């Protein structure tokens, strides 16, 4: 009799889980230098906790070994904080989504191992998420008063490691139609910032100074690349030679022209990005346009997208600031779409530094 009632309660719990309306997903992101955990209820975010690693600033870039050690220290407190902030109990979590790649392997391993252990302990499914899918699907997180893109749409995904134009046909059906052949747009910002003497990551600092500068003061070379692809390595070289020449004549050149330099560099990077985005929109006949990734936090790029929307009749989608740079909310929403389709990973899953869309 006792065995029967245990069996009955087990079946009822299972049925309850299958029938229950609300799905709660824990998302984990650890691909680079941010340890993040988020709790998603259906398509609404209940919490999105991010521990950024300051340690890399003094090195001028992310040091992989230091990043994985910091993830190891941060992961449990960050997950606990996300659960607490969401006001749920961990037994309510229906599935765990984590970044499988692309990213720094040592960093990815921390999030992946944590997720495997959590899934096993809680007896819940896990979803292995492509970080780049996450950036794109951040647009489907509920945000009051903001619409969500309709398929198909184009997403300019610009981060520290990637620069892509993605043709998004469905939640989990995406095609990269253009990408950088060398540096990413975020790298172009960060490397230019380093030449100006800014700490890492310099992108947000260029953005800040650019707001006070003249974008047309200095002209830098723009690449001529076929199709929808990008190139940014030439820009860095062109800035380097320009600065070397100017500093020879005036050692104070950077300090005296900082705002104009930032505005002109930012203007050039945005012009390179917008040229290809416009070309893709025109050739594919798609006017639903989104931006995603860390560089989509850039105020100049956000403004350029809005201006093009007015001129070209685009319907544009710009993510909330907190969902632009790396975060677990975007991993959780991607995991939710995988959960709905029952696309689950098993315990043999491993992190992958390189992962195609
Ligand atoms: O998506 P993300 O947080 O991490 C990667 O997956 O790479 O992107 C980080 C990149 C960095 O290169 C950073 O400098 C850049 O995004 N970034 C910005 C701004 N905020 C972040 N670049 C320009 N302007 C910003 N406001
Ligand atoms: Zn990213």
pLDDT tens digit sequence for 98-123: 999 999 999 999 999 999 999 999 99
Please give the C-alpha separations between residue 119 and each of 102, 197, 289, 334, in angstroms, as whole numbers. Answer: 21, 45, 36, 17
Residue 15 in this model has a pLDDT that exceeds 60 = no
Residue to mutate, 157, 207, 325, ligand 1, most ligand atoms under 8 Å from C-beta? 325
The tokens for 311 are: 């001129």
CA-to-CA dists, residue 118 to 34, 85, 248, 249, 261, angstroms: 20, 19, 58, 60, 48
pLDDT of residue 12: 46
Asked if the model's pLDDT at residue 4 lies above 70, the reply is: no
From the CA of 159, the nearest ligand is 1
pLDDT at 46 over 80: yes
pLDDT reported for residue 3: 54
pLDDT at 144: 85
Name the residue with higher pLDDT: 231 or 11.
231
For residue 250, the model assigns a pLDDT of 98
Residue 181 pLDDT greater than 90, yes or no? yes
Q: Can you tell me which atom of ligand 1 is nearest the CA of 325?
A: 3
Ligand 1 neighbourhood includes 32 CB (under 6 angstroms): yes
346 Cα to the center of ligand 1, angstroms: 32
Share of the chain above pLDDT 70, in %: 94
pLDDT at 19: 57
């Amino acid at each position: 009799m006792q065995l029967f009632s245990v069996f009955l309660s087990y079946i009822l719990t299972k049925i309850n889980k299958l029938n229950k309306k609300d799905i709660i997903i824990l998302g984990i992101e650890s691909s680079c230098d941010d340890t993040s955990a988020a709790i998603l209820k259906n398509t609404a975010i209940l919490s999105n906790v991010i521990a950024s690693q300051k340690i890399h600033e003094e090195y001028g870039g992310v040091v992989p070994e230091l990043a994985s050690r910091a993830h190891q220290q941060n992961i449990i407190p960050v997950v606990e904080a996300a659960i607490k902030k969401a006001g749920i109990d961990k037994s309510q979590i229906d599935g765990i989504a984590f970044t499988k790649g692309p990213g720094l392997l040592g960093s990815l391993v921390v999030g992946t191992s944590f997720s495997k252990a959590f899934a096993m302990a809680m007896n819940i499914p896990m979803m292995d998420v492509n970080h780049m899918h996450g950036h794109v699907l951040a647009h489907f997180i509920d945000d009051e008063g903001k619409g969500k893109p309709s398929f198909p749409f184009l997403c300019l995904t610009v981060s520290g490691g990637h620069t892509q134009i993605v043709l998004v046909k469905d939640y989990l059906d995406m095609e990269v139609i253009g990408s950088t052949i060398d540096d990413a747009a975020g790298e172009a910002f960060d490397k230019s910032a380093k030449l100006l003497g800014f700490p890492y990551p310099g992108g947000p600092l260029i953005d800040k100074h650019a707001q006070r500068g003249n974008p047309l003061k200095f002209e830098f070379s723009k690449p001529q690349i076929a199709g929808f692809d990008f190139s940014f390595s030439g820009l860095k070289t062109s800035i380097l030679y320009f600065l070397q020449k100017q500093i020879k004549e005036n050692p104070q050149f950077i300090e005296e022209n900082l705002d104009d330099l930032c505005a002109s560099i930012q203007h050039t990077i945005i012009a390179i990005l917008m040229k290809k985005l416009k070309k893709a929109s025109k050739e594919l006949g798609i006017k639903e346009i989104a931006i995603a990734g860390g560089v989509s936090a850039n105020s100049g790029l956000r403004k350029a997208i809005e201006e093009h929307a007015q001129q070209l009749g685009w319907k544009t989608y710009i993510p909330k600031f907190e969902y632009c740079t790396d975060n677990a909310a975007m991993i959780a929403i991607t995991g939710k779409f995988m959960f709905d389709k029952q696309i689950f990973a098993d315990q043999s899953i491993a992190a992958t530094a390189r992962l195609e869309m």
